[in-house]
Amino acid sequence: MGEQTGTSARIAGQRDPSEGGTPPVIDAAFARWLADRAGQVLLQVREDVGYADGKALKAAGDKAAHDLLTAELARWRPADAVLSEEDDHSRVAWQEGEHGTVRPDRLDASRVWIIDPLDGTREFSEEGRSDWAVHVALWTADCSSPNCLAAGAVAMPARHRTFATDKAPAYPPLPLAAATGGPMRIAASRTRPPAFVTALAEDIGAELVPMGSAGVKIAAVINGEADAYIHAGGQYEWDSAAPVAVASATGLHASRIDGSALKYNQADPKLPDLVVCRKDLAPRLLAALQRHLP
């Protein structure tokens, strides 16, 4: 594992700092630029490390993408704070008081980049799978939206697609199945679908569509491959910030499963549940969720 992790370090270290050129000035385009660059590094890690040791491949990918994103943010946005899944200091849940923890810088910053260098590590380590992603989002204190997400990008390198707020995707058209009374399609974890989501799907006659990566699941709602994504338990801000920023820019509904606003850059970055769906489906889904909340 140490040798493989060293491989990712060499990959990151061998990059020419000017390789990506001068990035865009506008934050939303910058987020897309960052996500795309990290995605290219991850594809290279897959090629160089291989799939024989999945655990080593996951570790190499996480490190290489995290190192690239944090280096570029330090270079091009040095005054901004960063909340990353791979940074133990920034991700810690802050507690005030005698037995509290060190207050992370991000809680006093006006601009915070919330990043998940590799979302869907299990799928990343499996040859042939493309349902993994890079998440880059920007939270700002000076905001008018409830979630305060000013920009976001979700790169899906193995699918050669990136969704970002600089060119927000069009609102997905009403699918023929839904228009003709067919079952709603709910994106769900392919390995650990929450029991209440299965019960909810049976209640409303919906079909579960299994796939990996929270970003890929929300992207599926954005591009019309699914009608909704519902999750509860085990997620953090970096799992949803970038895809929620894009979904919101597209005009989709995004909230906690009780209908309240998603809030980011909180003292505790745990953000365990959310629902993203077409706006016309939100009242029906939120009402059904009240009958099945865990």
Chain centre distance of CA 51: 24
φ/ψ of residue 26, rounded to 5: -65, 130
φ/ψ of residue 2, rounded to 5: -60, -40
Neighbours of 149 (CB within 10 A): 27
Q: Is 131 annotated as a binding residue?
A: no
| Interhelix angle 2-14/27-49, nearest 10 degrees | 130
Half-sphere exposure of 145 (CA within 13 A, CB side): 19
- How far, in Å, CA of 146 to CA of 136, rounded? 19
Helices (H), the chain: 2-14, 27-49, 54-76, 88-91, 121-124, 176-179, 195-204, 214-222, 237-250, 282-292
Q: Is 116 annotated as a binding residue?
A: yes
What amino acid occupies position 205? G
Q: Is 239 annotated as a binding residue?
A: yes
Q: Is 16 annotated as a binding residue?
A: no
The answer for residues whose C-beta is within 8 angstroms of residue 155's C-beta and 6 or more apart is 32, 35, 36, 38, 39, 133, 134, 136, 161, 162
Q: Is 118 annotated as a binding residue?
A: yes
What amino acid occupies position 133? A
Mark the binding-site residues for Mg(2+), compressed into ranges. 85, 116, 118-119, 239
Mark the binding-site residues, compressed into ranges. 85, 116, 118-119, 239
